[in-house]
Structure 1
């Protein structure tokens, strides 16, 4: 039949349909082996784009033709995360996103194959205030920075290079020891290779010592302990070692790996041992960096110079920073006009672990910002504007959250919280941040410190206009006195200007201002006590016979205008006003301790010998500002 059908050109019945019908009625059998089919890529990688270190999602979307949300989804799927589409991405992440989006890439300014060379260690000096950190650096570099510091306290985070007698060099970061600059110390620990923990042999472990240990541990940075002031009669290095061991530092003397060096910055002893310990630690860490290629650097400090504009102190992580390059630093950008070393000498380029001062940014960056080298002014401007918008949005959100903080803490019984607006001006960006954080720490239940504006540079007329508009006081730290015209206008407008060079003096002034402005909390306290010795009846009154309590004042005083409380065997029986108070036969307003008097309590006649009458007074308790030279400040309510 099949042959006949084929002969006449008829189509054979569909065998596949017959098999399907049969399978429905038969039990399932194991499927025959089918070779795997090679899948063709669903994404055509026919497009090639140029990518580079520090690209943003916005730039990548423009080059790939994809939407930013699409690239954000890819970023999440590959396990990466960014806060904004304007954040810089590593070149590896950019390549991964582009490939997932179906685009080939070609790396620009690639540093692959660059030679890796040993580099000097970056060492951060930490410790408690007045334990001799800066004096120790002075001894190493034969300078006198400590003598120039206001109040003997380092107010900035500075970077220095010390050339050792052995020929090696070490980059040092000198961090402030005052409690208000904890954020600056935290930054120092995050960018350093080794931490030198300075502890005074005659003082021991103190609060900022513990804080420095926490910062170093959080940054996973090795610690070298320098026990200073070993030349003092009261020095006890062994006690210091046991204190450090109790805080979790495993010292070499006790079987651990933390080196301990005994030094005296004043006598300049033990410096060679400290150098040897640092170089040994650096050798074990095998610190290396590429010298060629695009630079990666971070900001240590930034300040505003009247003649040269914004100046940024930076340390190069890797690569080489070259004069003339276009850079984006945080939300700022610019073309590097000049690079100077720590001595002020001009140079064409900066290599790894070298602290330099760069000139040419349009504005002041924040300490801790990364320095990203870009290829054009157009890209730098776009990246800067995007970040500024994001920072401004975040700033407004923080201000909004800060203003909403006060009502949440209110209660029906508590007095209304008063707002104290403050404008902060300082000489460098890092100090602005530290002073602002310190001022906000003075918030109390009665007063809310609201920093309405911060800036770098001297106090100007625009600052005065803003202060007058919002009723703020102006705080200037390490800045010059304002022009006489500004000072006169401030005096006429009643605007207070505080100028200081020592942080705890500044906090003391603002703390006292908080105390003056705080409304206080009304409280009732016992002003005096009197014991009932005898009872007298006063007859002839229309509403019955009143009883006079003959009393002796045991403590404080009893006042006619005060509220009286009657106690019997420690139990409160009545609270009311005083109808009459007499001393002998004379009406008096107050009777003090040791005197006898007659008291009539309004609407109460149940008096007995031995009862106690308490005199109550309403007082308004104001907060107290407590400060110490060690940097501890607080508002005690």
Structure 2
């Protein structure tokens, strides 16, 4: 039997696609022959790659005028899916959902890939399943839709899933019919857990209610221990880099335009070292989504946003995820931080705070070691004495320096806030010119 888990292709369903890739043995990528590859197609490819599952491409709508399967194959080849007839290892089957053309060939290909990958499970053992989705029903209570990975789930079995446990009171199949058991590969609707669980959680059958309760207590104890000794994703990455056992630094990049995206990807790939290669596992144009964050968490990747924000519904997910997020409107900020991570030079407890920016309005004195310059500070910008400085000329990063002293009028001050003008003593490796933009920042140590 073949079970199909349909994840909508619409851009809004990134989370479902991420979950689907982790729950299945084979990914079938459906691409319209008259439309071509879309951003969510690329995202689905990357989810499948990260989940390390084989991909079969179904080139759909072959009955339509303008259907061009070779064009689709060319587009997919650019993203690492090279058709078998072109010397690659990705099966691509032309189909039409409207007429039924090619569907038999697609099913045969699925069975062939399953046979080659030896996708087998033991139905005689206690059942283990992955939760696809879960909700609270007004009449039935917590309901979980699961996909059985291995073993058999029987009606009446004791079950446990994360911090929830219970007994299978109702077991339904894909047709919503009551059944006595569900075997490997079967989708099942289960009623009987005492709490709503989350998609991606693992449900398992246990021998008794006591064992189920014990497992819930163990799960809660592990969660509590993780909270107390919480390490960010960056802490773990840095410890692995310093130990010399991180061969690949995975990165997800989102930018505001295709041009920006290609520029930042090229800059990041150049930061690879013989010990650690920089690998971009997913990229796209647009805001940071919940799907991006989940992929970053599951892959232990760094998430980068260039000139883009985080969608409102994804902000709380990002805060709870522990994913290292780098957001900036200047490429240098991003590459500098990634370079420090790759070379093991970044202290995870160091936090950079950008104070503000100012333009050089006048140069009053130049010495070999320092310069006295006048600055124009814009609204909502501030400068603090002792701040570090980055120098930009026509938006290009030139070098760094330090703020040795800060004056407003004749008085030496500790801070100025814009809009205003001030004078500074600058020490650095760049000879400043009128019109240069200075960015002021400070480094603080988290306790």
How far apart are 1:181 and its partner, in Å?
3.3
1:372 aligns to 2:213 (yes or no): no
1:196 aligns to 2:31 (yes or no): no
Q: 2:121 aligns with which of 277, 289, 296?
A: 289
Aligned match of 1:227: 59
1:232-273 alpha-carbon deviations (Å, 9 max, x no partner): 223221111111122222212212232111112233322122
- The 8 Å contact of residues 37 and 75 in structure 2, kept in 1 or not, is answered as yes
How far apart are 1:222 and its partner, in Å?
1.5
Q: 1:362 aligns with which of 171, 177, 194?
A: 194
Q: Decide which moves more: 326-335 or 389-398.
A: 389-398
1:557-608 alpha-carbon deviations (Å, 9 max, x no partner): xxxxxxxxxxxxxxxxxxxxxxxxxxxxxxxxxxxxxxxxxxxxxxxxxxxx
Q: 1:275 aligns with which of 96, 103, 107?
A: 107
Q: Distance in 2 between matches of 1:361 and 1:443?
A: 38
Aligned match of 2:83: 251
1:315 aligns to 2:147 (yes or no): yes
Largest Rg, 1 or 2: 1
Q: 1:206 aligns with which of 38, 49, 65?
A: 38
With normalisation by structure 2, the TM-score equals 0.51
**3-state SS of 1:288 partner:** coil
1:176-218 alpha-carbon deviations (Å, 9 max, x no partner): 3234433332222222121111111122122211121122222
Q: 1:306 to 1:263 in 2, by over 3 A?
A: same
- The 8 Å contact of residues 142 and 192 in structure 2, kept in 1 or not, is answered as yes
Q: 1:385 aligns with which of 210, 217, 224?
A: 217
1:458-487 alpha-carbon deviations (Å, 9 max, x no partner): xxxxxxxxxxxxxxxxxxxxxxxxxxxxxx
- The 8 Å contact of residues 180 and 435 in structure 1, kept in 2 or not, is answered as no
Q: Distance in 2 between matches of 1:234 and 1:302?
A: 41
Q: 1:435 to 1:181 in 2, by over 3 A?
A: farther
1:599-634 alpha-carbon deviations (Å, 9 max, x no partner): xxxxxxxxxxxxxxxxxxxxxxxxxxxxxxxxxxxx
**3-state SS of 2:71 partner:** helix
Q: 1:350 aligns with which of 173, 177, 182?
A: 182
Q: Distance in 2 between matches of 1:450 and 1:298?
A: 24
Q: Distance in 1 between matches of 2:34 and 2:196?
A: 41
How many pairs were matched up? 258
Q: 1:305 aligns with which of 134, 137, 160?
A: 137
- The 8 Å contact of residues 18 and 294 in structure 2, kept in 1 or not, is answered as no
Q: Unpaired segments of 5 or more residues in structure 2? A: 233-289, 296-302, 321-355, 360-447
1:331 aligns to 2:163 (yes or no): yes
Q: Distance in 2 between matches of 1:227 and 1:328?
A: 40
1:237 aligns to 2:80 (yes or no): no
Aligned match of 1:595: none
**3-state SS of 2:176 partner:** coil
Q: Distance in 2 between matches of 1:445 and 1:276?
A: 41
How far apart are 1:327 and its partner, in Å?
1.3
- The 8 Å contact of residues 154 and 181 in structure 2, kept in 1 or not, is answered as yes
1:526-562 alpha-carbon deviations (Å, 9 max, x no partner): xxxxxxxxxxxxxxxxxxxxxxxxxxxxxxxxxxxxx
- The 8 Å contact of residues 155 and 180 in structure 2, kept in 1 or not, is answered as yes
- The 8 Å contact of residues 132 and 146 in structure 2, kept in 1 or not, is answered as yes
Q: Unpaired segments of 5 or more residues in structure 1? A: 1-119, 121-169, 402-432, 455-520, 525-637
With normalisation by structure 1, the TM-score equals 0.36
RMSD across aligned positions (CA): 3.7
Q: Distance in 1 between matches of 2:117 and 2:185?
A: 15
The 5 Å alignment of 1:229-628 reads 229-388=61-220, 390-391=222-223, 443=309, 449-450=315-316
1:331-365 alpha-carbon deviations (Å, 9 max, x no partner): 11111112111112111111111111111000011
- The 8 Å contact of residues 180 and 437 in structure 1, kept in 2 or not, is answered as no
Q: Distance in 2 between matches of 1:313 and 1:436?
A: 23
- The 8 Å contact of residues 293 and 318 in structure 2, kept in 1 or not, is answered as no
The 5 Å alignment of 1:65-84 reads none
How far apart are 1:434 and its partner, in Å?
6.3
Q: 1:209 to 1:267 in 2, by over 3 A?
A: same
How far apart are 1:385 and its partner, in Å?
3.3
The 5 Å alignment of 1:26-175 reads 120=1, 170-175=2-7
Q: 1:447 to 1:396 in 2, by over 3 A?
A: farther
Q: 1:449 to 1:202 in 2, by over 3 A?
A: same
Aligned match of 1:634: none
Q: 1:445 to 1:436 in 2, by over 3 A?
A: closer
Q: 1:288 to 1:436 in 2, by over 3 A?
A: closer
Q: 1:435 to 1:372 in 2, by over 3 A?
A: same
**3-state SS of 1:171 partner:** coil
Q: Decide which moves more: 193-202 or 264-273.
A: 264-273
**3-state SS of 1:290 partner:** coil
